[in-house]
């Protein structure tokens, strides 16, 4: 009996120890979420609340980053010297520098549209740029994306878009929603989400400009002096590099024409940048508020943005005040893309391209 009692006592101790160990395992592992709370919060900030139904109105702002404070993510090093950049100012101690009456920075999605372009299916988005507008560091960085760029991950399945291009996404959403007063906002929002989920850049504002209204504005001035960064050759024109005086009709053809071959889009981006520089030259002749008022009055419904008039004035003020070296242009390198026979463009290495864009937007401009 004595030996039996000892055995029972030992079994009881083992049972108690097993229960304690089981409780510890459950607390440490089973009850922990698979995704850290900070990551869950960030994911929720990018997920629309409720289902997205074509034809329904939405707020007039593009998705903005979460306001919750989350730890800064770390990324594995790349084989190239590119460094991922989040467009938030972090290297300025103390109060941010105020320029043009404001501080900080934001990412702006700009879209150029044209109803006469032959390379578009609908009403024609022919130019996309993500722009880092940085007041406190006094710089503007413009990064061009080809309209035919196809994205592998689509958040636009509700519109029947599984592998949309940038132009396909914007044009399709706009044409589905065109009877909706928020059509431009919805198309901009959908395109911004597509860029964010695939390229890691989250735009907080949009600006849409139509080429017909650029033509109208240029004609109101008589002509515009445009400095061509390269010769312009087409079936109609043979222009040498250097300063050219162009009327509105010529400017419209200049920024919409796309030659054949894989480099056609990159040539068009350069010409569009030349016209942006020409318009910057015009803007410098006016006070920002006067230029904004003049441009909007001429362009009428060919210009749409969720930026307020005050914000537009601040943007023009910054563009007017910074040195040319601090207004920088970038385009996706062709070497990082596949130019397909059907005219579409696909990404070779998504992680490497994300790093290139982020590093370019975070450049010092010097």
For the ranges 90-94, 262-266, 327-331, the one whose mean pLDDT is highest = 327-331
Reply yes or no on whether the pLDDT at 157 is more than 60: yes
* Residue 263: per-residue pLDDT: 85
Angle between helices 248-256 and 211-220 (to 10 degrees): 150
- Kindly state the average pLDDT of the residues 199-207: 95
Query: d(Cα 168, Cα 345) in Å, to the nearest integer?
Result: 12
Q: What is the pLDDT of residue 3?
A: 59
Q: How many CA atoms lie within 13 A of 298 on its CB side?
A: 20
**CB-based contacts of 224: which residues, under 8 Å, 6+ apart?**
218, 245, 246, 247, 248, 251, 275, 278, 279, 282
Q: How confident is the model at residue 82 (pLDDT cuts 50, 70, 90)?
A: very low
The pTM score is 0.74
Nearest to 161 by CA among 175, 147, 172, 145: 172
Distance CA 42, CA 37 (A): 9
State the Cα–Cα distance between residues 220 and 308, nearest whole angstrom: 24
Give the length of the chain: 366
Output the pLDDT for position 360. Answer: 95
At 234-246, the pLDDT tens digits run 888 889 999 999 9
Beta bridge partners of 212: none
- For residue 205, what are the β-bridge partners? 108
Confidence label for 89 from pLDDT (cuts 50, 70 and 90) = very low
pLDDT of residue 260: 82
**247: its two tokens:** 């009327």
Question: How many other CB atoms are there within 10 angstroms of residue 147's CB atom?
Answer: 26
Q: Does domain 77-361 have CATH number 3.10.450.50?
A: no
Taking only the tens place, the pLDDT of each residue in 14-25 is 665 655 555 444
> What is the dihedral sign for C-alpha 306, 307, 308, 313?
negative
Q: Find the mean pLDDT for residues 182-205.
A: 94
Mean pLDDT of 63-88: 36
Ordered by start, the domain boundaries in the chain are 77-361
Distance (Å, whole) CA 93 – CA 358: 22
Strand partners, 331: 144
Euclidean distance between CA atoms 355 and 78, whole angstroms: 8
Residue 340 has pLDDT above 70, yes or no: yes
Q: What is the mean pLDDT of the chain?
A: 79
When comparing pLDDT for 336 and 12, which is higher? 336
HEC sequence for 258-291: CCCCCCHHHHHHHHHHHHHHHHHHHHCCCCHHHH
Rounded Cα distance, 262 and 208, in Å: 26
Q: Tell me how crowded residue 241 is: count the other CB atoms within 10 A of its CB.
A: 11
pLDDT at 273 over 80: yes
- Biggest distance spanned by C-alpha atoms of the chain: 114
Q: pLDDT-derived band of residue 12, with 50, 70 and 90 as boundaries?
A: low
Lowest mean pLDDT among 9-18, 140-149, 309-318: 9-18
Q: Helix, strand, coil: what percent of the chain each, to 5?
A: 40, 20, 40
Nearest to 354 by CA among 332, 335, 334: 332
Is the pLDDT assigned to residue 69 strictly greater than 70?
no
Q: Per residue in 309-336, pLDDT tens?
A: 999 999 999 999 999 999 999 999 999 9
């Amino acid at each position: 009996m004595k030996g039996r009692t000892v055995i029972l006592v030992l079994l009881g101790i083992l049972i108690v120890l097993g229960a304690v160990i089981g409780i510890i395992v459950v607390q440490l592992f089973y009850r922990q979420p698979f995704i850290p709370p900070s990551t869950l919060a960030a994911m929720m900030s990018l997920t629309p609340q409720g289902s997205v139904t074509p034809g329904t109105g939405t707020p007039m702002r593009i998705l903005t980053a979460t306001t919750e404070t989350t730890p800064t993510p770390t990324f594995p090093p790349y084989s190239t010297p590119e460094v991922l950049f989040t467009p938030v100012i972090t290297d300025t101690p103390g109060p941010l520098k105020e320029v043009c009456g404001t501080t900080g920075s934001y990412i702006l999605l700009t879209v150029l549209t044209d109803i006469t372009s032959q390379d578009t299916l609908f009403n024609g988005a022919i130019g996309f740029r993500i722009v880092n507008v940085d007041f406190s560091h006094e710089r503007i960085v413009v990064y061009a994306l080809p309209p035919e760029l196809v994205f592998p991950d689509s958040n636009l399945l509700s519109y029947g878009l599984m592998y949309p291009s940038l132009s396909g996404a914007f044009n399709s959403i706009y044409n589905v929603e065109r009877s909706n007063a928020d059509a431009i906002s919805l198309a901009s929002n959908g395109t911004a989400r597509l860029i964010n989920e695939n390229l890691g850049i989250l735009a907080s504002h949009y600006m849409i400009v139509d080429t017909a209204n650029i033509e109208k504005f240029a004609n109101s001035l008589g002509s515009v002096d445009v400095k061509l960064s390269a010769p312009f050759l087409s079936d109609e024109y043979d222009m040498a590099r250097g300063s050219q005086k162009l009327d509105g009709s010529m400017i419209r053809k200049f920024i919409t024409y796309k030659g054949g071959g894989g480099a056609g889009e990159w040539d068009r981006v350069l010409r569009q940048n030349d016209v942006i520089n020409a318009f910057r030259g015009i803007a410098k002749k006016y006070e920002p508020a006067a230029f904004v008022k003049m441009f909007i009055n001429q362009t009428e419904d060919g210009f749409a943005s969720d930026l307020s008039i005050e914000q537009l004035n601040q943007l023009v003020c910054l563009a007017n005040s910074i040195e040319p070296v601090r207004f920088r242009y970038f385009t996706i390198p062709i070497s990082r893309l596949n130019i397909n026979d059907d005219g579409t463009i696909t990404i070779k290495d998504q992680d490497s391209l994300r790093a290139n864009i982020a590093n370019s937007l975070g450049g010092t401009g010097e």
